[in-house]
Amino acid sequence: MSLAEVAETPAAAGGTPGPPRTPGPLWTLGLLRNELSTTLRRWRTVALLGVLAAVPVLVGIAIKIETSDGSSAGGGGEGPAFIAQITNNGLFLVFTALAATLPFFLPMAVGVVAGDAIAGEAGAGTLRYLLVAPAGRTRLLITKYATTMAFCLIATLVVAISALVVGALLFPLGELTTISGTRIGFGEGLARALLIALIVAVSLIGVAALGLFVSTLTNSGIAAMATTVGLLITVQILDQIPQLHALQPYLFPHYWLSFADLMRDPVYWDDLIRNLQVQGLYAAVFGTAAWARFTTKDITA
Amino acid sequence: MAPYESDDSRTGDEADGTRAGRRRATRYAVPVAVVGVAAATIGLVPAFAGSGDPDLPEVSAQQLIEKIAASDVQRLSGTVKVSSDLGLPDLGGLESSLGGVTGGREGEGSSADPSSRLMELASGTHTLRVAADGEDRQKLSLLDKAAEYSVIRDGDEVWAYDSASNEAYHVRDAASGSAGKGAEDRSGDVPATPRELAEEALKAADGTTSVTVDGTAQVAGRDAYKLVIKPKQSGSTVGAISVAVDAKTGLPLKFTLTPASGGAAVIDAGFTEVDFSRPAASTFDFSPPKGAKVTEGDELKSGGPAGKDGRADKDGRADKARPGGAGDPGKEFEGLNVIGEGWNSIVRFDTGGEGLPSGEAAGGDAGRFLDSLGDQVSGGFGSGTVFTTRLVNALITDDGKVYAGAVTKDALVKAADAAK
């Protein structure tokens, strides 16, 4: 029910004024597909995904070289989580790669895509044409958010699959030992890896909503991206300051590494659930804030 | 003009401005309301959760103590949260590097050696998982960030596994006698579960102690009685010990030690989750993963002194914190005396050396550093330095005598005067 729909009616109906047309669900799906393919075909997005796919390759090769003389990787428990187990089971490369990319690379990629979502269109002068098409602001915003969330999942899966392929090529696979010391079969390990990838993707929806909100505040795509990534870094730093420990459980990256709890046996759910709650809260707050801003602002570009 | 205006404005009249403004305000109210609801939920849910004290038949303190003694829980699994705030100076990385030296991360030892790991419990907040199935199958796991440290006992096999470094430590209990026992003792040195802590506290219950039942509470979703243990004498730094005892099984579920000086609990250990059914058999089934570095307990014989050092340290931190444990350091030191009784026991021993140089006698930066950690005192005994934590205070006199106990500074000075 937007003005844009009303504005579109005469053109769409070939000049015969009629009742405002409500776009059907198929149309919305088409819009989403269109958005998704536009986003994924951008060179910027391809480059981001390429960098993400390269991280597990680098980690895998580095460990292979380091351990070629028989020494163990990450001796003494240094380095990213799970790194000591990779040489014995390539599946652990998936967990290490996600643990290595989650603090910065993944949210940065999501921040770039989310920050660009509205502000990029506005900066390129295409936002008003999108609204002239029977999109409606709320619908467009939801489509943009859905696209960003799809990108979260795609980016996470790119890291996970790249890590799985590299791990399978360079290291043995097979039965694995959970961090609690119990053994699980390779099939269950693979299922847990998939679940972990999903949890990591969901961990990013908070930063995606934040980026979308920032994106509605400005008409410059670059400014929105820079602000989102800057906020991400600031919050990550705040999360490290011990004096702020009372505040930290409410920061969106605080429980990010809780995905590792899925590798305990039995799974320790407390932090995982808290992570989902925090992400849901950020998505709700910044999603509605973006909606309030976007549906009431003047579109001048 | 269409795209310049907001969503459903169809008329371009004058009232538009105020209407748009009002609509903007209502829309922004949505995220504000979401924040409000979230804040209210975060603030109110714990308050409501804490209000429902269960209705249980009254018991006397004596009956409750007997219930604890008779408690025979063989099978359980659960999650325990332990927070300790002994008020020790935060040594941060220094502490772990010391642990590395004694535990021998670089030496022939293993980071999976229990003696080097369970010390971590002496400070901070930790989440532990416990599982037990009868006398010979137990598992204790220390949950770290993205890693876990487990001690698993299955019959006469004892394994410790550190997932962060992928190292394992193995001891055969029956076969290798002393070494195995040593590891077991060491793993039992820091009582972590509420039950062990409660038993230690009750050992100290004698004429100097008042034990009362103080209502009921909900712990880990179970109905429990609260047993409060208080020293009768003054001069102790222990304010009160509160133990929540499961009404059905008699198992202590939560242990809280509050200092006499007030403030947060010094030790707070309690189940957040407990289940009395038999844990899965695979829980206790450990074989080292491929490529894991396995250290056999026997190889660590040369590491004996290191283990002992760690133990002395723990005695200083944990055992002395409990009046019942005061006799323990006797194995380590010559010339040890216990002054006083009950909660006000003070351990006195002679280091045989010069003691710590204090005041002007202290030369150089090291002396100044030590001075900054302690307070100078003087009295009938001479002068010395008092090192304080929230629970244990120690007086080291300039002539090399050490007085330590869970008592106030004045009580230490008085004891030192009396001993002179």
Closest CA to A98 of A127, A55, A131, A41: A55
Q: Which residue has the higher pLDDT, A297 or A98?
A: A98
Burial of B71 (0-12, 13-18, 19+ CB in 10 A): middle
CA-based nearest residue in chain A for residue B27: A292
Nearest of A215, A197, A94 to residue A147 by alpha carbon: A215
- B241-252 confidence digits (pLDDT tens): 888 988 888 888
Structure confidence at residue B281 as a pLDDT band (50, 70, 90): confident
Sorting pLDDT into bands at 50, 70 and 90, what band is A51?
A: very high
Alpha-carbon distance B4 to nearest alpha carbon in chain A (angstroms) = 5
The pLDDT value given to residue B93 = 42
Within a domain: residue A27?
A: yes
Q: Among A290, A111, A138, A143, which residue's Cα sits nearest to residue A218? A: A290
| pLDDT > 60? residue B182 | no
Least confident of A93-102, A173-182, A277-286: A173-182
All residues of chain B having their beta carbon less than 8 Å from the beta carbon of residue A76 are: 105-106, 111, 165
Cβ–Cβ below 8 Å for B150 and A82:
no
Contact criterion met (CB < 8 Å) for A4 and B2: yes
Highest mean pLDDT among A65-69, A146-150, B121-125, B308-312: A146-150
The dihedral of CA B298, B299, B300, B304: what is its sign? Answer: positive
Q: Chain B closest CA to A261's CA: distance in Å?
A: 7
Name, in order, each residue with C-beta under 8 angstroms of B66's C-beta and a sequence gap of 6 or more.
Answer: none
Three-class DSSP category at B240 = strand
Residue A22 in contact with partner chain B when CB distance is under 8 A: no
In angstroms, the separation between the Cα of residue B35 and the nearest Cα of chain A is 6
User: What residues contact B375, with CB distance under 8 A and at least 6 apart?
Assistant: B385, B386, B388, B409
d(CA B341, CA B231): 11
Are B396 and B385 contacting, i.e. CB atoms less than 8 angstroms apart? yes
The secondary structure of A90-151 as a DSSP string is: TTHHHHHHHHHHTTTHHHHHHHHHHHHHHHHHHHHT-HHHHHHSTT-HHHHHHHHHHHHHHH
Substitution target in B26, B28, B141, B163 with the highest count of A β-carbons within 10 Å is: B163
Tokens of B241: 């010990």
**In angstroms, what separates the C-alpha of B258 from chain A's closest C-alpha?**
21
User: What pLDDT does residue A192 have?
Assistant: 93
- Report the distance separating Cα A206 and Cα A102, nearest Å: 13
Identify the CATH assignment for B196-275 out of 2.40.160.20, 2.50.20.10, 1.10.260.40, 2.60.40.10: 2.50.20.10
Tell me, what's the pLDDT at A99? Answer: 92
Contact A52, A101 (CB under 8 A): yes
The number of distinct structural domains making up chain A is 1
Residue of B7, B11, B125 to mutate, interface with A, max A Cβ within 10 Å: B7
| pLDDT > 80? residue A197 | yes
Residues B315/B334, Cβ–Cβ less than 8 Å = no
- Report the residue of A78, A179, A276 to disrupt the B interface, i.e. the one with the largest count of B CBs within 10 Å: A179
Q: Which of residues 181-210 of A touch B (CB under 8 A)?
A: 181-183
Judge whether residue A254 has pLDDT over 70. yes
How distant is the Cα of B133 from the closest Cα of chain A, in angstroms?
16
Given pLDDT bands bounded at 50, 70 and 90, which one contains residue B22?
confident
| Mean pLDDT, residues A161-176 | 92
Between residues A10 and B126, which one has the greater pLDDT?
A: B126
Q: Is residue A301 part of a domain?
A: no
Cβ B289–A292 below 8 Å, yes or no?
A: no
Q: Give me the pLDDT at residue B48, please.
A: 64
d(CA A41, nearest CA chain B) in Å: 28
Whether the per-residue pLDDT at B420 is higher than 70: the answer is no
User: What's the domain range around A154?
Assistant: 3-11+23-296
Domains B196-275 and B333-419 share a fold: no
Query: Is residue A171 in a domain?
Result: yes
What's the Cα-to-Cα distance from B301 to each of B158, B162, B202, rounded to whole Å? 16, 20, 35
Contact B27 A292 (CB under 8 A): yes
Most confident of B25-34, B169-178, B291-300: B25-34
Are residues B164 and A292, on separate chains, in Cβ contact within 8 Å? no
Indicate whether B100 pLDDT > 50.
no
Residue B16: pLDDT band (50, 70, 90) is low
B338-381 per-position pLDDT tens digit: 777 777 888 887 776 655 554 444 456 666 666 667 778 877 78
Q: What is the pTM of this model?
A: 0.76
Task: State the complex-level ipTM.
Answer: 0.76
The answer to whether the beta carbons of residues A270 and B15 sit under 8 Å apart is no
Average pLDDT over residues A236-245: 90
What is the domain partition of chain B in residue ranges?
2-51, 74-193+279-317, 196-275, 333-419
Contact A292 B23 (CB under 8 A): no
Q: B333-419 architecture in CATH?
A: 2-Layer Sandwich (3.30)
Contacts of B69 (CB under 8 A, 6+ apart): none
Q: Which of residues 60-89 of A touch B (CB under 8 A)?
A: 72, 74-77, 81-82, 84-85, 87-89
Nearest beta carbon to residue B150 from set A77, A81, A181 = A181
How distant, in Å, are the alpha carbons of A5, A10, A82, A277 from that of A18? Answer: 12, 8, 63, 46
